[in-house]
A = this chain, B = another copy of it.
């Protein structure tokens, strides 16, 4: 008989939480018992998983259940307070919030990139920011070959990145209902439908947003290379299927474009969609619901030595959040 695990999902009724439960099922993760955790408000609700019903419990009840693994996606404050409690009770916590990512004692993991730093003894493991994950999966094999000097990235981020609030705001705007308030809480400061908002997360002192800083700091930590220059502009677009990124890279070493294609084609977790003659390139519409990162528009940038342009799309709720967390869990149970 193969081993099964008690798995808690904290934030089980949220957009990423429900996606985590979906991915656990799809990936046939060996869940013996699911412990769906949410706030007092949602406690008592029923979650269906693999044909069985599980009752949503409070965080305190979740800790008392002593899960082996706890996947967190319930906001930074819940993670700050409860992740250590779950870890103390013996769970390996995989946390999707930004709360623990830059803590020097916490590993920040994209399995395809630095999954080898896991040893199965972790208390809390941090899941990186969605826009960082999808950028780094294809850049990692190229960084190993040619060493990245600088990245200039502009993002086109789906409203699903703001959870149900973002989807609700766009749905209501499209239906002609009041545009900026959802249950009294605005998802964005402005209408998003047919608009573009160059502002994700709050502004830091230097007028970059925290989302932009995440792309800088998390790239350094995950690649364990603090010499890479990263300039990010993160932007919200009226899209639902996934995040897109226009990524411009400058390498230290010269590269061969054919080799770049070959390398990306055999990179785990990457699907190359690049055939301009047939109008083949990645788009959120087709990335939706997929676990992979889609890469296309791969072309030499002649405005700089060893420059390369890429267009990178992924379902931010999947590889950008739930899938990456479940993949970390899959690696952890191999180490146990």
Contacts and interface: CB of A to CB of B under 8 A. Distances in A.
A246 B229 contact: no
Contacts of A203: 276-277
A194 B303 contact: no
A279 interface: yes
Contacts of A239: 194-196, 237-238
Contact of A281 (B198, B238, B276): B198
B246 A154 contact: yes
Counting chain B CB atoms within 10 Å of each CB, the highest count among A156, A190, A198, A244 belongs to A198
A320 to B, nearest CB: 15
Contacts of A154: 154, 233, 246
A131 to B, nearest CB: 13
Given A189-B279, A233-B297, A311-B233, A303 B196 contact: no
A280 to B, nearest CB: 10
Contacts of A300: 206
A152 interface: yes
Contact of A231 (B195, B281, B304): B304
Give the most central of A152, A285, A309: most B CB within 10 Å: A152
Nearest to A303: B229
Chain A's interface size range is: 35 or more
B299 A150 contact: no
A296 B191 CA distance: 18
Contacts of A196: 156, 237, 239, 244, 283-284, 313
Given A154-B154, A246-B233, A309-B231, A195 B283 contact: yes
B283 A248 contact: no
B283 A231 contact: no
A240 interface: yes
A43 B17 CA distance: 60
Contacts of A197: 283
A241 B284 CA distance: 21
A182 interface: no
Contact of A208 (B274, B296, B299): B299
A150 B304 contact: yes
A237 B156 contact: yes
Interface of A: 150-152, 154, 156, 174, 189-191, 194-199, 203, 206-208, 229-231, 233, 235, 237-241, 244, 246, 248, 274, 276-277, 279, 281-285, 296-304, 307, 309, 311, 313
